[in-house]
Structure 1
Amino acid sequence: MLIKIFNKIRPNTDVASSNDIVSDYGLDSFDILEIIAMIEDMYNIQLNLTNISINDFKTFESIERFIELNSKAKQ
């Protein structure tokens, strides 16, 4: 599912093999906000963004960890 989100932001890219998605694909803060919104909609969750860091979006593993630690079901 995360790959689908990234393909909407950066079509025709191979983000799955990236070790630094942000640097490799030139994601900026607006891209990150768009990704967050798509994740929240796709998984029907709300993310706590209090302690968000760009490092949370470097790899799919770091994104998944961020979601696990900072999400709650939408009310």
Structure 2
Amino acid sequence: MAALRAGDSGRRGNTTGTYMCTDLACSLYARNKKRPALGNRYREHLSIEEKVERVRENMSAFVARLYA
């Protein structure tokens, strides 16, 4: 996902982006409530709580970069 930055930077066409789930259901995937239609998920040794926290941190960082 990519978005224009706020203010003058965005008006000049500057963007920021991040990789995320194509259907925007990242939190459902992190909680194992949804499975990818094709392919497999990465093998990880994180708890569900750790995966959810990673989604939150990634989204917060993305939004923070929009206003930086």
Instruction: Report the TM-score range of the alignment, normalised by the length of the smaller protein.
Output: 0.3 to 0.5
Q: What's the TM-score, normalizing by structure 2?
A: 0.35
Larger relative CO (CA 8 A, sep 6+): 1 or 2? 2
Q: What's the TM-score, normalizing by structure 1?
A: 0.32
